[in-house]
Structure 1
Amino acid sequence: MTTDPDPCYADPRLARIYDPFAGDREDLTAYIEIADQLGADKILDVGCGTGALALRLAEGGRTVVGVDPAAAIVEIAKSRDRAQQVTWIQGDATSVSGLGADLAVMTGHVAQVIFAEDDWKRTLQGVHDALRPGGHLVFETRRPEGRPWERWAANDAPHILDIPGIGPVTQRCEVTDVSLPLVSLRYTYEFEVDGEVVVSDSIIRFRDRDEVELTLAAHGYRVVEVREAPDRPGREFVFIAQRAD
């Protein structure tokens, strides 16, 4: 993963409002179903964020490790109910070598946040080293042919939430640059309680299916299946890859 996390994960004030703006996370259900289908008992959540998926996976008695490079977001995860059921690590995929996981997951478009090619290669290798022989890696990525950045640019209305304990917060999103395969986004948050404005700039990378499959093969994986994201049909691919020992 990237060495310097986006401010939305690293800034303590933004980390506290991540979950309310993320919404109900319907996308996570598909990952739980895949974990069940694969019979995975030991799971690594790469880019775990506030731990929404890690905690749901741990509820079934699984051993779960959540890793994320942003200290502020890891602290939020540690503060959640039943957080002791998960092992939390501030770091990246290279921090968990030899874990022996049955399954590693990257949700919330983590694969696209890792936009630098060297970081992407290190992540794939780090996950490979954290999986047991025959273990699986599952993640989703937006399909570039859908050109979602055009939809984002057209929908520039502010999003306002009244967050308990924090008050009203206004979020605005702007597409600041499109230089494919990279798209730059700027999120601006205004806190009504004191008028503070916090800006978070992000870069995401769009990889087509062939590129993803080639990089997986180059780092010791076999692509088992490529699915649609059930909550976003036609917009994303979900890759299920196996450590090819």
Structure 2
Amino acid sequence: MLYHDPRLVALYDALNPFAPDTSFYIALADSARHVVDLGCGTGMLACELARRGHRVTGIDPSREMLRVARARPDADRVTWVEGDAQALPFVGAADLLLMTGHVAQVFPDDDALLATLKAARRALRRGGVIAFESRNPAARAWENWTRERSTRRIEAPDGTMVEVWQERHAEPDPGTSGRVAFTTRYRFAEGETLEAASELRFRTRDELTRLLHAAGFAQIDWYGDWDRAPVAETSRELIAVAR
């Protein structure tokens, strides 16, 4: 889902607060001089890294998301770029490139994800690292994308409450990775409901490994959770740290 509506962008941080994944990526960046946050969203992670002394470039295709990012504390320490992986040749060599928030799943076709991974490889210095996460298809997260299982209430910036839920349209064949289409609905206090359609691609670790190798990454460390636990059948995440 590409966030353009300012009412939905305003809810993004409430739906995606500072969490264990944020801490994982902050720790990973400890020795990196230049960090590129590809798909930086509202800039929470980018600004936190800049506050800690890293040189940071935040790239996102959503102008509305970047408008929020530029208003954050320490935003003046970040270089903001409206765009996607095509902007990478122009931002300078990076020590670490991050794709957080399950960005890797928004690429429905392998060719599109591979092109992004190749662009990332070219943007990294020798020995540089790419890190991202993708939901483990074996955990079948889409089964919870129903109104009954996913409804939650969050507080909007104006103090009103917003009801949010997902409704899945279809699912991959049992036990396999593939595309999952769903709609996220936002019901505001005054009764108005906004809808945002999305499609995510679930890939297995083997599929992601093949794409990373094809992009030129030789060594890949895999984790199944933000505490760096190994990947297990029940792991919700497939977290890749590759060089």
1:202 to 198, 205, 225: 198
Task: Name whichever of 143-152 and 209-218 sits farther off.
Answer: 143-152
CA deviation vs aligned residue, 1:175-228 (integer Å, no higher than 9, x gap): 1111350011210112214x3321011111111111111111111111331122
Shift of 1:114: 2.0
CA distance in 1, matches of 2:149, 2:223: 30
User: Is the contact between residue 104 and residue 127 of structure 1 (CA under 8 Å) also seen in structure 2?
Assistant: yes
Residue pairs, 1:1-245, within 5 angstroms:
6-7=1-2, 9-36=3-30, 39-97=31-89, 99-153=92-146, 155-156=148-149, 158-165=151-158, 167-179=160-172, 180-193=177-190, 195-230=191-226, 234-242=235-243
CA deviation vs aligned residue, 1:147-179 (integer Å, no higher than 9, x gap): 111133384353122323252211121111113
User: Is the contact between residue 178 and residue 203 of structure 2 (CA under 8 Å) also seen in structure 1?
Assistant: yes
Shift of 1:49: 0.5
User: Is the contact between residue 216 and residue 223 of structure 1 (CA under 8 Å) also seen in structure 2?
Assistant: no
* Change beyond 3 A, Cα 1:157–1:119: closer
CA deviation vs aligned residue, 1:53-76 (integer Å, no higher than 9, x gap): 111111111100000111111111
**TM-score, normalization: structure 1?**
0.88
* Change beyond 3 A, Cα 1:224–1:111: same
Q: Write the letter of the residue equivalent to 1:52.
A: M
CA distance in 2, matches of 1:64, 1:136: 15
User: Is the contact between residue 39 and residue 59 of structure 2 (CA under 8 Å) also seen in structure 1?
Assistant: yes
User: Is the contact between residue 94 and residue 122 of structure 1 (CA under 8 Å) also seen in structure 2?
Assistant: no
CA distance in 2, matches of 1:59, 1:124: 27
CA distance in 2, matches of 1:157, 1:43: 33
CA distance in 2, matches of 1:11, 1:212: 32
Give the % identical residues: 37
CA distance in 1, matches of 2:86, 2:27: 26
Q: Write the letter of the residue equivalent to 2:94.
A: A
- Cα RMSD of the aligned pairs, angstroms, is 1.9
User: Is the contact between residue 114 and residue 214 of structure 2 (CA under 8 Å) also seen in structure 1?
Assistant: no
CA deviation vs aligned residue, 1:71-91 (integer Å, no higher than 9, x gap): 111111111112111111110
- Structure 2 unaligned regions, length at least 5: 230-234
Helix, strand or coil at the partner of 1:40: coil
Task: Name whichever of 229-238 and 85-94 sits farther off.
Answer: 229-238
User: Is the contact between residue 95 and residue 126 of structure 1 (CA under 8 Å) also seen in structure 2?
Assistant: no
May I ask how many residue pairs the two structures share in their alignment? 233
Name the structure where strand makes up a greater proportion of residues. Answer: 1
